[in-house]
Amino acid sequence: MKTYVEVFVNADGEKASVITERLLEMGLTSAIGEHDFVYRWKDDVVLAEVLRFVDQVQSKLKGTGAILKFRTI
């Protein structure tokens, strides 16, 4: 399974390069195309695991002004 993340940056917030660095530190990889980042799960996941992951991403980017969109397939 994969979780795709789209990031919308705020002109008054943190630089896109800083946001990218933080996400890469969490194990996401950058992607070009429809989605900005992707997290590849080792196995199938349940909703609780995805929610924990989303919570971690939110905590990591708190205060940056970034708006996030997640999609897990």
Per-residue pLDDT, 33: 87
37: buried, middle or exposed (CB in 10 Å: 19+, 13-18, 0-12)? buried
Domains, the chain, with CATH or none: 2-72 (3.30.70)
Per-residue pLDDT, 72: 96
Per-residue pLDDT, 53: 97
Per-residue pLDDT, 28: 97
State both tokens at 35: 């989605």
The answer to whether the predicted template modeling score (pTM) of the entire model surpasses 0.85 is yes
Residues 10-61 have pLDDT tens digits of: 999 999 999 999 999 999 999 988 999 999 999 999 999 999 999 999 999 9
Closest listed residue to residue 54, CA positions, set 30, 28, 20, 18: 28
> How many residues are given for the chain?
73
